[in-house]
Structure 1
Amino acid sequence: MGWEFAHGSDIGGRSEQQDSYSILDHMGNYLLVLADGMGGREQGAMASDTVIETAHTRFYSPHRAHPEQFLKRLCMEAHRKILKLGRNNGTSSGSTAIFLYLQDNEAYWAHVGDSRLYHFHNDKLLFHTKDHSMLALQQQNSEFGNSAESNQLYMCLGGDNDVVPEINAAGLNNDDLFLLCSDGFWSEISPDEILRQLALPGTLQYHTDMLIRTASERGGKNADNISLLIARHQTRKRLPGLLKLVFRK
């Protein structure tokens, strides 16, 4: 069994792309990473780059930790590096992070912030990550009132908050599909719309491009940065060779 991947991004209505993502392949194990940086000019981009660089360094270094422990350590190391980056530059910066580790017939993922992972199977949404945002807390508990902003996070990498990554795992089935995205995407496109697009004729990359275009058009001149990664579990094909990709548009 193998995997098919598709990816893309759009700067939206912003002056700078602060999202970064990467797809890494090492001996048949894959690590997908998506980070949405936050901070002043260039600081957000530097923070999200730090997440990607940390993932590259650690994934291709010898490691024997269980994937869940590996992902936790990855989050904490990226957090420390972003904090150091802020101290060295005399500024504050931060980043969300989604990591998806694919190994044999199992998937593991970790997240911090409000970038999301969706897990689909047989045209159904099985799971999606919960945002580490004040709005999400408000929706869960009325004690928080109703004044939270949609992009106000209570946990991110590089922030002055404690970092407790949420880690989950699932066994893999035929035709499982994982989607990783920044908030510029999920704020405009619902899971049902994702499934409707994927049901249409076309390649996985075509569907990814169409979803990104739709999100950007809906966001208009104020659209946030948009990034999207899709991984589909296949029964017949396996991608050959080494994937080591970093993207920013």
Structure 2
Amino acid sequence: MAWEFAHGSDIGGRSEQQDSYSILDHLGNYLLVLADGMGGREQGAAASDAVVETAHTRFYTPHRVHPEQFLKRLCMEAHRRIRKLGKNHEKLSGSTVVFLYLQDKEAYWAHVGDSRLYHFQNDHLLYHTTDHSLVELQQQEKTFGESAETNQLYMCLGGSNAVEPEINAAGLNNNDLFLLCSDGFWNEIDPDEVLQQLKLPGTLQYHADVLIRTAAERGGSNADNISLLIAQHKTEKRLPKMVKRLFGRK
């Protein structure tokens, strides 16, 4: 399957960009990675960079394991790598991550923390990842009492917590679109707004730029770092039958 990609980031109101991302292509397979260094922790930027560097190293090294196993190994190796970074500092470094592996007509994804993946199909939201945050846990378990802070995570890469990456997969057709983003984006833009923007004229990159700018404007002077990756199935335009005959095609 052919894919079109768009990407971008904004520092928001922060003094440092602690998000990192990359789009990797190898032999027709793609790996998208987006990581958000933990806000308030030392070496947050170094931690998210370590996630992306791990992906670059392993994706281009021959690997014969199933994509789900590969993504789990990426998460665990990045976790160990960030833990080593933290040994030189009083506090542990940390990062969220969301991976998307595109292979033939299948997609696989893994995430740790509260960076999200959204899967759209035929202009409808099919799925989005569930944050590894205390507020999400409270909502799932329907607990009552004092509410947790929205940015308080119970699982991240590099932290003292146990890491159990959440991994999912889906078959693909001709109308799939995936969006990966950090919390600085999804806190300001909801899925319906994404769909509305994509219906307007313009390239995929233009739409990504508009969405990022809108998120930054809404966040104002206190805006978090914002990062966004979009992967959209690229429909091949068919030639008219008469043109096909001219080129000797059946």
Structure 1 unaligned regions, length at least 5:
238-249
TM-score, length of structure 2 as denominator length: 0.92
**Cα separation, 1, equivalents of 2:97 and 2:125:** 21
Q: How does 1:24-43 map to 2 (within 5 A)?
A: 24-38=24-38, 40=40, 43=43
Deviations 1:143-198 (A, max 9, x none): 36332001000000001111000000000110200000000000000000000000
Q: Residue type of the partner of 1:100? A: L
**Cα separation, 1, equivalents of 2:55 and 2:64:** 15
Structure with larger RCO (C-alpha < 8 A, sep 6+):
1
Equivalent residue number for residue 11 of structure 1: 11
The DSSP-based 3-state class of the residue aligned with 1:88 is: coil
Deviations 1:96-140 (A, max 9, x none): 000000001100000000000000011100000000000101111
Structure 2 unaligned regions, length at least 5:
238-250
Cα offset, 1:234, TM superposition = 1.5
**Cα separation, 2, equivalents of 1:42 and 1:205:** 32
Equivalent residue number for residue 241 of structure 1: none
Structure possessing the higher radius of gyration over alpha carbons: 2
Contact 1:138 / 1:146 at 8 angstroms: preserved in 2? no
Cα offset, 1:228, TM superposition = 0.1
**Cα separation, 2, equivalents of 1:172 and 1:110:** 17
Identify if the C-alpha distance between structure 1 residues 158 and 194 changes in structure 2 by more than 3 Å, giving closer, same or farther: same
Contact 1:38 / 1:44 at 8 angstroms: preserved in 2? yes
**Cα separation, 2, equivalents of 1:176 and 1:147:** 36
Equivalent residue number for residue 130 of structure 1: 130
Contact 2:41 / 2:92 at 8 angstroms: preserved in 1? no
TM-score, length of structure 1 as denominator length: 0.93
**Cα separation, 2, equivalents of 1:119 and 1:235:** 17
Contact 2:41 / 2:91 at 8 angstroms: preserved in 1? no
Equivalent residue number for residue 222 of structure 1: 222
Cα offset, 1:227, TM superposition = 0.1
Equivalent residue number for residue 102 of structure 2: 102
Equivalent residue number for residue 193 of structure 2: 193
Identity of aligned residues (%): 81
The DSSP-based 3-state class of the residue aligned with 1:93 is: coil
Contact 1:138 / 1:145 at 8 angstroms: preserved in 2? no
Cα offset, 1:41, TM superposition = 7.0
RMSD: 1.2
- Higher mean alpha-carbon deviation, 176-185 vs 136-145, is at 136-145
The DSSP-based 3-state class of the residue aligned with 1:207 is: helix
Equivalent residue number for residue 87 of structure 1: 87
- Higher mean alpha-carbon deviation, 146-155 vs 17-26, is at 146-155
Deviations 1:41-94 (A, max 9, x none): 760000000000000000011110000000000000000010111013343110
Runs of 4+ with deviation above 6 angstroms = none
Equivalent residue number for residue 244 of structure 2: none
The DSSP-based 3-state class of the residue aligned with 1:99 is: strand
**What is the number of residues matched between the two proteins?**
237
